[in-house]
Amino acid sequence: MTSLVGLIGYPLGHTISPAFQQAAFDHYSLPAEYHAWPTHPDLLEAKVAALRGAEYLGANVTVPHKERAAGLVDRIGPQSEAIGAINTIVREDRILVGHNTDTYGFMQSLKVSGGFEPEGKRVLLIGAGGAARAAVFALADESIASLTIANRTLERAVSLANLVRDAIPEVSTVRLVDREIEETAARADLIVNSTSVGMRGGDAGTASPLPTRLIPPSALVFDMVYNAAVTPLLKAADTAGAQRLGGLPMLVYQGAGAFELWTGRDAPVEVMFKAAREALERLDHAS
């Protein structure tokens, strides 16, 4: 029997996850199909419940469902519970287990693809959603010097910051307004965008969450947006003379973590990277 697995999110017009996950299954000649499952929030509960069927391996979960999905599975691990968001569901018999491989994907991409060691560094994180939560918990384990969370809604930033105040020496929050983050940005070693601002096909696809003048040339700018080779924020980083890292490595590494949970096999990371880059090129040529 062919097993089914897929990506639950809404909308999913430009996802490349099916391309590189299917390449991983095909690499091992596994009888599995990976699909994109656009799921309106009203249908999320029913979609997650359906994963208990014998034909399913599980699913990936993306925006806007990562936090809500954590409450719809039967069991989640301690780290996922602390984060309050999941991005992977694994079916074990009829039990659904939630995991968060975004923490692994974030740190692998930062260290391996970005060549960045977080220890002792000052970090500015833009956004306070599910992806931001994974980044915060990953950074909290790396002995960073300081973390500032900038978000349009300050209350969400404060709520997230409170979760790691005991693990990071200096934690602060600001509203995502130029004048409020100017000083923090100026001394940041790492600037991370965890929002969808700059995403292809989004409402703010041509916008950057941080203007060029606020990006120090000594910083690494890490944009989690993956479905455009060069986002507006990465263009701003280029203009500022800063190093930059796009979201594709994080996407592939978190996907590799999910693949290993579903199959118990080592993820063919290079195969997945190749398929992901080819899919992204096709998107670029189509636009």
3-100+249-286 and 103-246 agree in CATH topology:
yes
Q: Smallest Cα–Cα separation from 22: which of 282, 281, 285, 274?
A: 274
Q: What angle do CA 216, 102, 272 make, to 5 degrees?
A: 95
Domain extent listing, the chain: 3-100+249-286, 103-246
Mean pLDDT computed over 32-44: 98
Distance CA 235, CA 241 (A): 10
Catalogue the long-range contacts made by 204-211 (C-beta closer than 8 Å, 24 or more residues apart): 206/232, 207/232, 208/232, 208/233, 208/235, 208/236, 209/126, 209/127, 209/176, 209/233, 210/126, 210/181, 210/185, 210/236, 211/178, 211/236
Distance CA 25, CA 260 (A): 11
Distance CA 7, CA 280 (A): 17
pLDDT given at position 216: 97
Instruction: Decide the pairing of beta strands 95-99 and 122-126.
Output: unpaired
List pLDDT tens digits, range 225-255. Answer: 887 678 999 999 999 999 999 999 999 999 9
**100: Cβ contacts below 8 Å, ≥ 6 apart:** 77, 79, 80, 83, 85, 86, 87, 88, 134
- The active-site residue, picked from 66, 111, 121, 235, is 66
Is the pLDDT reported for residue 119 higher than 50?
A: yes
pLDDT given at position 82: 86
Distance CA 204, CA 208 (A): 8
Answer yes or no: 66 catalytic.
yes
DSSP the chain: --EEEEEEES--TT--HHHHHHHHHHHTT-SEEEEEEE--GGGHHHHHHHTTSTTEEEEEE-TTSHHHHTTTSSEE-HHHHHHT--SEEEEETTEEEEE--HHHHHHHIIIIIS----TT-EEEEE--SHHHHHHHHHHHTTT-SEEEEEESSHHHHHHHHHTSTTTSSEEEEEES-HHHHHHHHHT-SEEEE-SSTT-TTSTTTT--SS-GGGS-TTSEEEE---SSSS-HHHHHHHHHT-EEE-SHHHHHHHHHHHHHHHHSS---HHHHHHHHHHHHHHHHHH-
Q: What are phi and psi of 184, to 5 degrees?
A: -65, -45
- Would you say domain 103-246 falls under CATH 3.40.50.720? yes
At the topology level, CATH places domain 3-100+249-286 in: Rossmann fold (3.40.50)
List pLDDT tens digits, range 133-146. Answer: 999 999 999 999 99
Report the predicted TM-score, pTM, of the whole model to 2 decimal places: 0.92
Taking all residues of the chain, what is their mean pLDDT, rounded to a whole number?
Answer: 93
- Asked if residues 80 and 100 have their Cβ atoms less than 8 Å apart, the reply is yes
pLDDT given at position 204: 46
List pLDDT tens digits, range 173-213. Answer: 999 887 889 999 999 999 999 987 655 555 445 678 999 99
List pLDDT tens digits, range 76-96. Answer: 988 898 888 899 999 999 999
Is the pLDDT reported for residue 262 higher than 70?
A: yes
